[in-house]
Structure 1
Amino acid sequence: MAGKRNKIKRGFGEKSFRRVNTVFLFCLCLITIYPLYYIIVYSFNEGVDSLKGGLYFWPRIFTAFNYEYVLGNGSLQKAYLITIGRTVLGTLLGLIVTGITAYGFSFKDLPYRKKLMLVVLIPMLFNGGLIPYYIQLSNLKLVDTFWVYVIPGMFNIWNMFVMMKFFSEIPISLREAAVMDGAGEVRILLKVILPLSKPVLAAIGLFVAVYHWNDWYSGAFYVSSSKLLPVQTYLQRLFEADNLGLITTNSTIVAEAAARESQTSQMTVTSVKMAAVVIGTLPILCVYPFVQKHFVKGMLIGSVKE
């Protein structure tokens, strides 16, 4: 009888914990999501009306002109093309260069493997600093060019170690069977290794893509031409502006906005900034659901040793 009561008590305690845990996680999720939701609500509301406050769950005076104003900016359109180009090209080349290097290091009988590993490991532990890095980019003629966004990020040491660990755990019998069938190294890599490596490729690919999409630092320090600014650098400068005149400098939107003076007069710099935040954040958020099923599996297999 006492044992039955103990079971009932444990069952009640477990149910109570699950309920409390569910409520806590729901509140935590709400706290995390609501700021982004508030930004979306603010961006779809008239700017002057938003200054009155009281916006919590939906726009009071709905308008999409904030987005028209931002997307109609020729400078932002060019910045988007630069960012999309560097993200696609940088992610593709990053996976190729890092993946090939990791595949080579996954062979334990690689000649001079330990010495080469030491050469790769030193830059990971010791950084030369910003000024030597800038001088190196300048000597390579990469400063103020599109390739300053792509070439330096083609190889990542940490990503290489994750991919190397993953490749080394693929059964060697699969490679031996392919060799017996007459397959060369390139065919083994393309037909055997890569199909089995989708989880780690998705995980590393997401890391690299997010880096390229969110990077404003390179555009701010290594590029002086406004035609080569990525969207995040453009948005960073937009956030520092305190009036619409600074935001629309050298932009074709000025003439278009003048023809719609009634809507422009209801706009504020804050409402434009909110719309810009959504535009800069939403695309990369939409990518994650498509790689989510591979993401956790790829990271665990590539980094956990049993």
Structure 2
Amino acid sequence: MPSGLAALLDDVAGITKIAAASLDDVAGAAGKAGTKAVGVVVDDAAVTPGYAMGFTPDRELPIVWKIAVGSFRNKLVFLLPGALLLSAFAPWAVTPILMVGGSYLAFEATEKILEALAGEHTADEPEELALSGPELEAQKVNGAIRTDLILSGEIMAIALADVAGKPLLVQAGALALVGVLLTVAVYGVVGLIVKMDDIGLHLARRKNPVTRSLGRGLVKAMPITMEALTLIGTAAMLWVGGGIIVHGLEHFHLTPIPAWVEGLSHWAQRVPVVGAVTGWLAFALGSAVVGLAVGGTLAGLIHLWHHRKPAVAPDGTA
């Protein structure tokens, strides 16, 4: 009996070691995969605050919470099972899907740049102005969740490409961990951003002059912060989208463009002391140029297509 108990304890200890090793694998894979998705995360954090703006202060955090719940649902209920099925039955499709997503990111960034250059701004649509507060809130939340689905899909695809060689359970654990941690990080930052002006107003009412100055500074910094987030998000979409395309071309042995980007990065790495930083910046810049070229091509084709479509008269005739 003791020998049986000892054998059982040995088995339990062995299973525990295996489980611990698996957890280490999951954590390591999640960390590595998460860093690859950082550009999409930056864009997600830059885009989302706009959906909570324009509402009363008491509705801002509830709106962010609703979007965060939708983001969890997107990642864990829809995208995670889809990613695992893709990994199990069609791993060859991961790179093409990533390239399509990267092209979409580049196109979105290019559209933002073209709108900024043209001086366009998004005004409230008449149908939006006709909605009540709860209806408008529901519309904004649903729109944010749809946008998050696209960005989350890109995050999960990037993470999947990095853990594709791992066992299926490690893949599942890593993707789930990436999804949860990045969602918490993104929407935690978004919550702070949308409440930054309220925090500033609260501090500005304090008696301490230093605290009051800090509060006024936060309020004044809010518009600048939103502008900076827009610029950072656009740059991140270009660099990430272009980088995905570059890696995809390299995967399919279409090497001229990847060789040019890599060569630029290697040349920049020769800078003394900060070579690692300048090399990364050069790769990001080269990737952004590729992203801008692809995004500009797609934007031009789509605009050309829209202009070629016949106009429809009020009576329904072309």
TM norm. shorter chain > 0.5: no
The TM-score bracket by the shorter chain reads: 0.3 to 0.5
Q: What TM-score comes out, normalization by structure 1 length? A: 0.34
**TM superposition score normalised by structure 2:** 0.33
Larger helix proportion of the pair? 2
